[in-house]
Chain A
Amino acid sequence: MTHIEPRTWERFFWPVLVCALLLALWHYCVVWTATRIFPSPLEVERGMAELLRQNVLWGDIVDSLRRVAVGFGAAAVLGIPLGLIFGWYPAANQVVNPAMQILRPISPIAWIPVAIIFFGVGDNAAIFLIFLGAFFPIVVSCTDGVSNVPSVSRRAGRNFGLSPLQLLAKVVFPAALPQIIVGLRIALGIAWLVVVAAEMIAVDSGLGYLIIDSRNSGKRYDLVVAAMLLIGVIGLALDLGFRKLERIKSVRWGFRDDS
């Protein structure tokens, strides 16, 4: 809340300074404690370079992204219409809501045994877990989005003689879209969290597997940390990509308050 606007150079200077300080702290902690197991930043960087050279990394990244894309896509395809229906018919929402509230806090990871009986160990189990992780947030945000549409807009639509389907397509959906997109963004973040966990247990490729595998086969903690940083960077890129969507003009009209 300091009132002086930061200058342009500060925008780069401070983050770089803090990053450098933290890296130095990390490096010297490793040096001081004389640990053999935990890697220093330089070792992590070398580990990352090694991964890049071996070309396994791209396969793992592509596998993880593919699982997220399929699981998240399925959750969006099923979740958005369901959420719209629940928002549109409050009675339906009241029927389903208690069951949803009980299913929602169950960790997608807790479904692992069930996923494995249904789908065996493999891609489908991981995709199912991601689907479950992303599905509930999407449904809830769609339901909220629709029920928050001001009734003025609906009545105006009716007065112009729109049929219920037209009303849904031309008024309700666009008005709810901003909230739906926020829900999708949150769900994508969750999907990215779940894929890593699922890959640590249920399959043998992908970034999560890379972490577990580098630990189990020879305590390569430099690769563990390198993989974690990669997961962070890719997750950030996904989030930024989605934020771009929020800024598209035709999506924006529902963001009334904060333009």
Chain B
Amino acid sequence: MVGGIADLVRHGLLLKYVVASLFRVTWGFVLAVIFAIPIGLTIGWYRRAQMAFNPIIQILRPISPLAWIPIAILWFGVGDLAAIFLIFMGCFLPLLLTAINAVQSIPLVYINAGRNFGLRPAELVYRVLYPAVIPKLIVGLRITLGIAWLVVVAAEMIAVSSGLGFLIVDARNAGNRYDLVVAGMVLIGIIGLLLDVGIRSLERVKSFRWSYSED
């Protein structure tokens, strides 16, 4: 297995594949964050919006992001965009749910107190809501990044021809190189672990910490 990894490094393929996978995860994940969090916060703020969207979210959520593969290929062709779309689909709904829950679990006292101090709506969002939801959002981001990393591997096994998922499938199909398969899996595990550790370090940033007071 070590020999297998050394082989890959020598051909310069390994770095290329790792970068390709990380590139897709970054775009899919960032797009999902950009769309899901504002929408989720808005839906969470209005009871009726939450009631209205809940059934659809609940039905779409259990659908494996991989079940979207035929549709992703139909819309975006075989390539990076299809993989990014799949990662986006895998991350969007979990993030949306986290954002909705985060808003709904803000204690009413905070909001009433903010209003009593005469905060304007914009200030209320910035000084009360935003700090109150951040801890939950970060936990959601961490879980979702894990999902994105799971999905990218699967997407690359089917929809594109580079990246770590492709490495695994390709190593098996081109000559049963199971040493490379296992090497690819271990690499996926290690990079996934690093991503998790990286995002956990966000939880420790001082300005995010204030609502952890209870524990």
The residues of A with any CB-CB pair to B shorter than 8 Å are: 1-2, 6, 10-11, 14-15, 17-19, 22, 37-38, 101-114, 117, 189, 192-194, 196-197, 200-201, 208, 211-212, 215, 221, 224-225, 227-229, 231-236, 238-239
Q: Which residues of A contact B47 (CB under 8 A)?
A: 1-2, 6
- B62 interface residue (CB < 8 Å to A): yes
The 26 sampled A-B contact pairs (Cβ below 8 Å) are A10-B51, A18-B53, A18-B56, A101-B196, A102-B186, A102-B190, A105-B193, A106-B188, A108-B150, A109-B153, A109-B165, A110-B165, A111-B185, A114-B182, A117-B178, A196-B66, A197-B66, A200-B66, A200-B158, A211-B70, A221-B74, A224-B70, A225-B71, A228-B63, A232-B63, A236-B58
Kindly identify which residue among A2, A15, A194 contacts B52, using a CB–CB cutoff of 8 Å. Answer: A15
CB B94 to nearest CB in A, in angstroms, measures 10
CA distance A106 to B47 in the complex (A): 38
CA distance A114 to B46 in the complex (A): 48
Closest 3 A-B residue pairs measured CB to CB? A235-B62, A105-B192, A14-B52
- B211 interface residue (CB < 8 Å to A): no
Q: Given contacts A1-B108, A233-B59, are A11 and B51 in contact (CB under 8 A)? A: yes
Q: Which residues of B contact A17 (CB under 8 A)?
A: 52
Q: Which residues of B contact A215 (CB under 8 A)?
A: 70
Q: Contact at A232–B149, with CB atoms within 8 Å?
A: no
Interface residue SS majority, chain A: helix
- B69 interface residue (CB < 8 Å to A): yes
15 further contact pairs, Cβ within 8 A, besides A15-B56, A192-B62, A235-B61: A14-B49, A14-B51, A14-B52, A105-B188, A106-B153, A107-B149, A109-B165, A110-B184, A113-B169, A114-B185, A194-B64, A200-B66, A225-B71, A232-B59, A236-B59
A111 and chain B: residue at smallest CB distance: B185
CA distance A109 to B165 in the complex (A): 9
- B127 interface residue (CB < 8 Å to A): no
CA distance A175 to B47 in the complex (A): 34
Q: Contact at A197–B154, with CB atoms within 8 Å?
A: yes
CA distance A211 to B69 in the complex (A): 9
Q: Contact at A212–B70, with CB atoms within 8 Å?
A: yes
Q: Contact at B59–A234, with CB atoms within 8 Å?
A: no
CA distance A105 to B147 in the complex (A): 9
Q: Which residues of B contact A14 (CB under 8 A)?
A: 48-49, 51-52
CA distance A175 to B78 in the complex (A): 50
Q: Which residues of A contact B165 (CB under 8 A)?
A: 107, 109-110
Q: Which residues of B contact A114 (CB under 8 A)?
A: 178, 181-182, 185
CB A230 to nearest CB in B, in angstroms, measures 9
CB B76 to nearest CB in A, in angstroms, measures 13
CA distance A212 to B181 in the complex (A): 24
CB B167 to nearest CB in A, in angstroms, measures 10
CA distance A231 to B95 in the complex (A): 20
Q: Contact at A107–B153, with CB atoms within 8 Å?
A: yes
Kindly identify which residue among A106, A112, A189, A193 contacts B157, using a CB–CB cutoff of 8 Å. Answer: A112
Interface residue SS majority, chain B: helix
Q: Which residues of B contact A19 (CB under 8 A)?
A: 55-56
Which of A105, A201, A235 is the most central at the interface, judged by chain B CB atoms within 10 Å of its CB?
A: A105
CB B71 to nearest CB in A, in angstroms, measures 7
Kindly identify which residue among A105, A111, A193 contacts B146, using a CB–CB cutoff of 8 Å. Answer: A105
CA distance A46 to B64 in the complex (A): 23
- B168 interface residue (CB < 8 Å to A): yes
Which of A11, A15, A109, A192 is the most central at the interface, judged by chain B CB atoms within 10 Å of its CB?
A: A109
1/0 contact string of B145-169 vs chain A (CB within 8 Å):
0100111011001100000010011
Q: Given contacts A17-B52, A18-B56, A211-B70, are A109 and B63 in contact (CB under 8 A)? A: no
CA distance A114 to B179 in the complex (A): 11
Q: Contact at B150–A107, with CB atoms within 8 Å?
A: yes
Q: Contact at A231–B153, with CB atoms within 8 Å?
A: no
Q: Given contacts A10-B51, A15-B51, are A106 and B66 in contact (CB under 8 A)? A: no
Q: Which residues of A contact B55 (CB under 8 A)?
A: 15, 19
Q: Which residues of B contact A212 (CB under 8 A)?
A: 70
Q: Which residues of B contact A11 (CB under 8 A)?
A: 51
A37 and chain B: residue at smallest CB distance: B74
CB A104 to nearest CB in B, in angstroms, measures 8
Q: Which residues of A contact B172 (CB under 8 A)?
A: 113
Q: Which residues of A contact B60 (CB under 8 A)?
A: 232
CA distance A233 to B153 in the complex (A): 26
